[in-house]
Amino acid sequence: MSKLYYPNKELAKKANIKSLEQYYALVDEAKNDYEGYWKNFADKKIDWLSPYSKVLDESNKPFYKWFCEGKLNVSNQCIDRHLEKRANQVAILFEGDRGDVQKITYKELSLNVNRFANLLKNKFDIKKGDRVVLYMPMVPEAAYAMLACTRIGAIHSVVFGGFSAEALKDRIEDAGAKLVITADGAYRKGKPYLLKPVVDDATKNGCDSLEAVLVIQRNNEKIEWNKKDHKYNELIKYESDQCPYEIMDSEDPLFLLYTSGSTGKPKGVQHSTAGYILWAQMTMEWTFDFQDGDVFWCTADIGWITGHTYIVYGPLSCGGTTVMFEGVPTYPDSGRAWKMVEEHQITQFYTAPTAIRVLHKLGEDEPSKYNISSLKVLGTVGEPIDPHAWEWYYKVVGGEKCPIVDTWWQTETGGHMITPLPFATPIKPACATLPLPGIMAEVIEKDGTPTPIKEKGYLCITKPWPSMIRTIWGDDERFKKSYFGDCEKNGESVYFSGDGAMIDEDGYITITGRVDDVINVSGHRLGTAELEAAIAEDEHVAEVAVIGTPHSVKGESIFIYVVLKDNANIKDIFIHVNKILARDIGNIAKADDIVKVEGLPKTRSGKIMRRILRTLAKKEEITQDISTLEDPSVVEKIKKALESS
C-alpha cells in the first residue's frame, strides 16, 4: 500500500473544501440529486443574463445539453462583473522571455478586450458564430483575442505555435475560419523566432474561407506583408474601448480545440459556453484552493486546453491574478521558475511532469536558493508523474508543506475530473486519487462491470457533466464513435476516455496510460495515425509504423519503424523522417528513434502487430504468438536491425 500524505490541518481551516468529510458530503449530494447539485453551483457561480429553463436535457444522447435556454457572456463572467471591486487589481501578470514584466489590471484588461472586439467587428466583420483561428505566442494579446471573440460571440480556435504550416492549414480549413490572428514572432531562450512565415506558408494555397490575417507586431521583425495581412498595432489605436457583449445561449459554441486522435485527421473538440465556464471556475476553487489574493501560475501554452482553462478562463472567472509566461522555466538557468515564484509571490504552481523532471535534473537544489514560501499548492498535468519526480517536487519545491494535485483530465473534459483536493484528500504519490464531486468516473470493463481492484480497466465517465465535449466540429458521427462507441453501463453507452486505469482498495484511481494509438510526449497527445500518414506520403517510404516508448523525461517518446522502397536512396533515415514530421506536424513530433527495417510484423489480414513492435523497442522478450504472422521471420530481421542501429 502506498504511503499517504495527509493534508495540513492548519491550512485546511481556511480552505474551500476543508476535509474528506466535506468532500464525501458533496459526492453524496450529487448522487442523491444530480441535477439539483449542478443547479446549486450554476446559480451561485454564473452571472445569468436570463435564467435557464432546464438543468439537463438528455433527450438526444450523447448530445447532452446543460442549462437550457440560459443566457450569459463569458467575457462578462471573466471581466465586467469584477470591475466594481477589482478594477485596479492585477488580472494578468505577464513576464516575457527576456524578463520584461507587464501588470495588466482588470480595468486595463477590459479596455484592451473591448478595443480588440471592436476591431474584429468593425474591420473584419466578425459576427456571432464566425470562426477565428489564433496562431500566437504567449503574450497578453493572445488572451485579449480569446476574450474578444467570446465578447462578440465568435468561436475561437487556438493552434499551438509549435505546429507546422501543414497542421495549421488543416485546422483553418476544417474550422472554416474567416480570420487568422498571429504575431510576427516572439522570443524563446533569448532569441527571436518567427510565426508569420508559417501562416504565409499555411495559407498560400487552399484556406478558401479565410478573408484576412491580423498580425501583432511583437518583435518588429522584417516579414513579408501580403494582400490579406493587416497590422494590429496600427489598427487598434482607432477602436473604441467600449463594446457591449453579445448575449449568448448556454449551449452556443465557445471554442474549438483540435486534438490528435486514433485516425489521421485531427478532431475539432467543440466546447459550450455555460457548462465550460462553470466547471473552469469550480475546479480553480476546488483543485487549487484558489482564493482572493492568490497569484496563479500555469506554465502551459494557450494552444492547449490547459492554457485555455487554467491561464485564461478559470483564473479570470474567479477574479484572480494569472501569470502568463512567454519563455521556458529553465532559461536563462534552472532557477528561472523559482526566481519568478519569489518575485511575483506566486501561490499555486501548475506544470507538467516533463518540466518537473527537467528542473530536477538541471538544478536539484536550485529551489532552496530562493524564497518560495509563498507557494501553497503544487500541481501536475498532462501525463502521469513518476514517484521519484513526485518526491522531489513535494520535498524540495513544496518544502513538505504544499500538497501536490496530480490532475487527470482531457481536452474533451474541459476541466479537471480526477484529482486530490489539496486540503482534504490524503495523497498517494503518482496517483490521481478520487473523482471530483459530481464527476462519475469509474474503472469498468466494456460491458460496464466494475474492474477488480488493482486490475487494469477502462476509465469511463458514466454520467454527463457540464463541461463535457459537445461534438467534434462538423462530424457528429465521429464524436459518437470516438467517445461513446466502446463502453456501456446498464445497457447505455458511456463516455470512454481512451485511458486505462486501476482502482485500489481505498477507491483511489491510478491512470495507466492510453489504450489506443495515441502517444503522450511531454503532455502533448500525438496520434500515431497522424504521424504515420505524414511519413507514408514520402515518395521513398513503402511502409511505416509508429509506437510510443517510455522516456525518463518526456514520459513517452516517438519510436518509428520505416520500410523504404527498393529504389530509395536516403543517406540518413533519422534526419529524413524527422524533417517530414517537423514540416507536417511540428517540432514536437520529432522522433527519438527511427529504425530502417525490411518489413513489419503483420497478421494474414494485413494488420500491423504494434504490440510486437513495442516489445522489440523495449528490448523485452516476445511472449506473443508470432506463428499467426504473415511472415514470422520478419521479427528476427527487425531484431538485427535494432541491434545494428
Confidence grade of residue 625 (pLDDT, cut at 50, 70, 90): low
CB 130 within 8 A of CB 246: no
Domain boundaries, the chain: 106-233+252-259, 442-514, 518-644
CATH topology of domain 106-233+252-259: Rossmann fold (3.40.50)
Q: What CATH code would you report for 442-514?
A: 2.30.38.10
| Chain mean position to CA 595 | 30
Between the alpha carbon of residue 16 and those of residues 12, 206, 283, 419, 433, the distances in Å are 8, 51, 11, 15, 18
Residues 6 or more apart whose CB falls under 8 angstroms from that of 291 comprise 14, 16, 285
CB 632 within 8 A of CB 588: no
Q: Which of 161-165, 244-248, 361-365, 535-539 has the highest mean pLDDT?
A: 244-248
Q: What is the dihedral of CA 517, 527, 268, 435, to 10 degrees?
A: 50
C-alpha span between 508 and 5 (Å, rounded):
14
Whether the per-residue pLDDT at 419 is higher than 60: the answer is yes
Condensed to tens digits (0 to 9), the pLDDT of residues 345-393 reads 999 999 988 788 888 888 889 999 999 999 999 999 987 777 778 999 9
> What value does the mean pLDDT of the chain take?
92
Residue 536 sits at φ, ψ, to 5 deg, of -65, -20
Condensed to tens digits (0 to 9), the pLDDT of residues 453-489 reads 988 889 999 999 999 999 999 999 999 999 999 999 9
pLDDT of residue 103: 98
Average pLDDT over residues 300-308: 94
H/E run at residue 489: strand 487-489
CATH class of 518-644: alpha beta
Give the cell for residue 46: 454564473
Whether the per-residue pLDDT at 261 is higher than 70: the answer is no
Confidence grade of residue 330 (pLDDT, cut at 50, 70, 90): confident
pLDDT of residue 566: 78
**442-514: same fold as 106-233+252-259?**
no
Whether the per-residue pLDDT at 262 is higher than 60: the answer is no
Confidence grade of residue 7 (pLDDT, cut at 50, 70, 90): very high
* Helices then strands, each counted (H, E), the chain: 21, 31
pLDDT of residue 605: 47
C-alpha span between 28 and 234 (Å, rounded):
56
CB 16 within 8 A of CB 291: yes
Whether the per-residue pLDDT at 444 is higher than 60: the answer is yes
